[in-house]
Chains A and B, each alone.
Chain A
Amino acid sequence: MNLFEALLKYPAHDYAVGRLVFLSRIPGEVRLAALAGLVALAWGLYRRGAGRVPPRTHRVLLGLRVACVALLVFLLGIPALRFRSPRPGGVFAAVMVDTSRSMSIEDVPAEKGKQSRLAAAQQVLLASGTPDDPGLLLSLERGSNVLAYAFDAQAARTSDVERLKAQGQQTNIFRSIRDVDSDLRSVPLAAVVMLTDGCRNTGGEPEEAARLLEARGTPLYIVGIGDPRPPKDYEVMQVFAPRRVRRNTEVEVYATIRHTDFAQPFEIRISRGETPLVSKRVEPAKGTDLTSLRLAFTPDHEGTATYRLAVPAAEGESIADNNAREFTIQIQDDRLPVLYVEGSPRLEYRFLRRALFRDRDFRLVGLLRLASDRFYVQGASEAEAFLEKGFPETREQLFRFEAVILGDIEAGHFTMSQLELLEDFVRERGGGLLMLGGVNSFGLGKYAGTPVGRMLPLDISPSDPAYSEERFGAIVTPEGLKHPVLRLSPDPDANRRLWEKAPPLLGLTPVRGVKAGAQLLIASGDGRRPVLAVQNYGAGRVAAFTSGGSWYWQVSMPADDEFHEKFWKQLIRWLTVGAKEQLTLETDADIYARRNPVNIRATVLGRDLRPVNDAAVMAAVTDPFGNTEEVPMDWVLTQEGVYQARYVPNEEGEHQVAVRVEGWKDRSAAAGFLVSEPLVEFSDAGLKEPLLRQMAATAKGRYFTLAEARELPRALEAAVRAARFAGVKPHDQEIWDAPFFFIALLAIMGSEWFIRRRSGLA
């Protein structure tokens, strides 16, 4: 121990490094006020005797008294030296690099042309790695331990930033930040640095993640990479198509296309594999970058098929991966029974049966009245032997059909309960009803005021004029030309021409008019009399065809012309679209990413179409390689007749699902789904600068553009330093009891007494 240390208690180094603090609980302001007060008192007291000593002596005495008071006040403040040591082990900084697919977009200027966003991020982090150009990683490593993370849907540590690839299918910024926070929860995290374009497409709000860091006291520094202006791009944003159709039924597909910075017409196509199905030239909507459109095609095969709707890549388009979307449709092939009740043998019956006889989708079951109490049943299966007794009388009997056609048969032939059953069939079961023209149809058949009359799309009355045998030309209304029933050609102009050339019809049941809400598709040539009208009724559909002479279309046109057949097939198909089935199966989406769970749902109804609960239901999922996995389905207790199961696909490609119910031999249902790479990363893929700026501000960090990235290391220094000492408790060494201060006090007081004595004041 040397003299300094002996007098001042601690070595000189401590006084050089430590910071002087006062440990007294008396606030500094109070102490200063007390000092000022005492100095004033001392000066006031000394003024009394000022005339008795020379001014110089007076000033010396005053100065000594003030020094004494000040020293006392100083010591009363309990002076100490305070020391703060940095954390042992240092602090950490996390560097997060976005490796989702949007980072592969090449829109960042480079020395030659453009480079991808990820390449630009790697350049910021690694630079040349020399002392003159160390890159962000090396700069950060000078003051902290740096951990690098690659993130897309989640974050994972990486030790090789240089080899990172932009392959992530989705971006979840919220989860990624949370992952890093969790991973580094037990260490001092000085800062989080994120290099990203901000294009997130799944998961929670990034703002919430920024608040997470802010609460922890960890600032977030973000380098935004990419062009904020959306690149010139065609993007297929949405595709809507029915999940299930009958074979040979027209499928309508609705799509929304975003055409960023493109104003010229573009082509859109639907294909299946390599086979193009339909294409259309589209004029983009004006004043907006979104255009909705409709395409239609008719599948002619059965099973589940995957289709692709695509816009060919245009010149100057930087992202081509989002130009297409795939969708799946299940095409059903079982022949649906349609009941045709005819009042007497007539040409319309013959030719309508002939038109549908070869249809693979429908089985026409004829109930032909030959006399008032004699029927001829055609095309019925063994299970339909109840038709021996005439028209069905129970739900179970009638509901097995998909549609009912009433020919030239009067309402009086049926009982009221049969007519009411027919109404239930349409309204609840979703079956279709078609009434044909004849001398005993519509009003003439006394259907007005009956349940069937309620369902018809026409206003009818018993006093309607008699059936007319005239030959007349039929006009398709503008509404009719757009209706799927009358779409005999996919080309609208060709379709219109086909109908303009259609032969006349023979015979018409006059009615009063069309009900409000119904659609008139065909009218007589003078436009006054309805010929074909349709409407929805409950879950089902109803059509009224007032002519009894469409057979004339068939015999008036060449034998190989399928005008007549096509019309009836399309009308029957349209009628049966809503019909409920006993066993249906669907998945919650058409397309999944690998390892995303597929929710499978089946609805099981009995023969009377009432839900069946607690059945043994099994789903069998077959992957693209033919491997089948059976998954038991559980009844959803809160939904009658509904069963569900979950399946996680491991392979990409088309998957098929089949469901069966134990004890049901003749019923099954099938569906399909596709597992493929999602394309969400290229949707709306411009740099999200406002979002990133907000995140950085929330987390008390800062946002940098790519050009400003060089400033990052310096901006991080303060954060790193603060983190180094954050949470570390300071060490205090009191010095008020150092001998020096006691000696100094004695010296001051002794000098003052000596001078006062010599001056004659003491």
Chain B
Amino acid sequence: MGKQIIHTRHDLTLGRNAEDLAGGMEAIQRLSRRRFLASALGGAALGVAARSALADKAVTTGQFIFPRLQFSVYDNTPDIWNVHPVGDVNLRLKLRELTNINASQEPKVVRLDDFEDMVLNPFVFMTSEGYFKLNEKEERNLREFLERGGFILADDCVYAAREDRFFRTYNKLIDKLFPDNPMRKIPYDHEIFHIYYHFKDGCPHMQGVPHGAYGLFERGTGRLMTVNCPGDIHCGWVNRFWSDGRNLEAIKMGINIILYFLSH
């Protein structure tokens, strides 16, 4: 395969991107399916074996850390901030397999009341099923974290397979912290849906209320500072609840978001 260039929407036409991507994606999917089967039992132990031919060619560089944010929920939903850590493990593995990002496989937890530790990890993943509330210090830290260039990927774990408690709470929180710049739905033609893999219908939706992904767009640059997914892509990373194809889509969306973060 010759060199393939993934262009921003601003550079070339979308049609050409899709054509270029189709062949490449097929190859990736074939490899990924094999690897997913191998990692269904857990994944972490398969680190070395799971590396694909592409990753072999990729040159390792500085590490990317994918931490989980710890916070408190106040309703009695069972799945809280640390639900299904295997999903993170799988995503880290796939990140390493399918891109040349040197993703650290080490689990990491950060807390909003430990700001110094948070800023050492500018990308943070946040998820749970239920309503949550942050105290004043945590809210302040979260705002400062985003304004300094940090990024939060928020994903609703979807209580009872149909609700959107976390999604709405997160949107409300961000709107409170940035009152003059509310969360908005990310249009389907946004770069984040096409930067590496192509999602013509926006963020994959595994379950819950199909709001579509929302984001906070930085004033003056239009850069996304945080993304809130209502469709439980994290559970897709777990690779247990849906078909391989659907799970892989969730993985790919995670990869797109991380790549967007690292390039914008």
Hey, which bits of chain A sit against chain B, CB under 8 A? 343-351, 353-354, 357-358, 366, 368-378, 380, 385, 387-390, 408-410, 438-440, 467, 469, 507, 548-549, 551-552, 554-559
B61 pairs with A374, CB closer than 8 A? no
Q: Which residues of A contact B12 (CB under 8 A)?
A: 385, 388
Within 43-68 of B, Cβ neighbours of A (below 8 Å) are at 54, 57-64
- Count: A-B pairs, CB below 8 Å: 139
Q: Which residues of A contact B61 (CB under 8 A)?
A: 343-344, 346, 408, 438-440
A349 pairs with B5, CB closer than 8 A? no
A377 pairs with B5, CB closer than 8 A? yes
What's the least CB distance linking A63 to chain B, in Å?
130
Q: How many residues of B contact A (CB 8 A)?
A: 43
B7 within 8 A of A: yes
Q: Which residue of B lies closest to A407 (CB)?
A: B61
A378 pairs with B8, CB closer than 8 A? yes
Q: Which residues of A contact B36 (CB under 8 A)?
A: none
Q: Which residues of B contact A467 (CB under 8 A)?
A: 62
Given contacts A373-B4, A554-B148, A559-B148, contact A439 B57 (CB under 8 A): no
A372 pairs with B5, CB closer than 8 A? no
Taking a contact as CB atoms closer than 8 A, the residue among A354, A371, A390 that contacts B57 in the complex is: A371
A343 pairs with B99, CB closer than 8 A? no
Q: Which residue of A lies closest to B95 (CB)?
A: A345
B263 pairs with A350, CB closer than 8 A? yes
Given contacts A376-B5, A376-B6, contact A343 B264 (CB under 8 A): no
Residue among A366, A377, A551 with max Cβ neighbours from chain B (10 Å): A377
Q: Which residue of B lies closest to A369 (CB)?
A: B100
A373 pairs with B148, CB closer than 8 A? no
A555 pairs with B149, CB closer than 8 A? yes
A551 pairs with B59, CB closer than 8 A? no
Q: Which residues of A contact B223 (CB under 8 A)?
A: 354, 357
Given contacts A346-B62, A348-B62, contact A389 B3 (CB under 8 A): yes
B5 pairs with A375, CB closer than 8 A? yes
What's the least CB distance linking B61 to chain A, in Å?
4
**In the A-B complex, the 8 residue pairs with the closest CB atoms:** A345-B262, A559-B147, A372-B57, A555-B119, A344-B61, A344-B100, A373-B3, A408-B61
24 A-B residue pairs with Cβ-Cβ distance under 8 Å, sorted by A, are A343-B59, A346-B62, A347-B62, A353-B263, A354-B149, A369-B100, A370-B6, A370-B259, A374-B3, A375-B3, A376-B263, A378-B263, A380-B11, A387-B5, A388-B5, A389-B5, A390-B3, A408-B62, A438-B61, A438-B62, A440-B61, A469-B62, A552-B120, A555-B150
Q: Which residues of B contact A376 (CB under 8 A)?
A: 5-8, 195-196, 259, 263
A372 pairs with B58, CB closer than 8 A? yes
B3 pairs with A344, CB closer than 8 A? no
Q: Which residues of A contact B196 (CB under 8 A)?
A: 370, 376
What's the least CB distance linking A554 to chain B, in Å?
5
Given contacts A378-B263, A548-B62, contact A344 B4 (CB under 8 A): no
Q: Which residues of A contact B119 (CB under 8 A)?
A: 552, 555-556
Q: Which residue of B lies closest to A368 (CB)?
A: B263
Q: Which residues of B contact A558 (CB under 8 A)?
A: 144, 148
B261 within 8 A of A: yes
What's the least CB distance linking A212 to chain B, in Å?
72
B59 pairs with A374, CB closer than 8 A? no
Q: Which residue of A lies closest to B150 (CB)?
A: A555
With A345-B258, A408-B61, A467-B62 known, 8 other A-B pairs at CB within 8 A are A345-B99, A345-B100, A345-B259, A354-B223, A370-B6, A373-B2, A390-B3, A438-B61
Within 1-29 of B, Cβ neighbours of A (below 8 Å) are at 1-8, 11-12, 24
Residue among B61, B147, B220, B259 with max Cβ neighbours from chain A (10 Å): B61
A388 pairs with B6, CB closer than 8 A? no
Q: Which residues of A contact B86 (CB under 8 A)?
A: none
Given contacts A370-B259, A389-B3, A555-B119, contact A350 B264 (CB under 8 A): yes
Q: Which residue of B lies closest to A441 (CB)?
A: B61
A374 pairs with B4, CB closer than 8 A? yes
Q: Mark B163-199, 1 if CB is under 8 A from A, else 0.
A: 0000000000000000000000000000000011000
B213 within 8 A of A: no
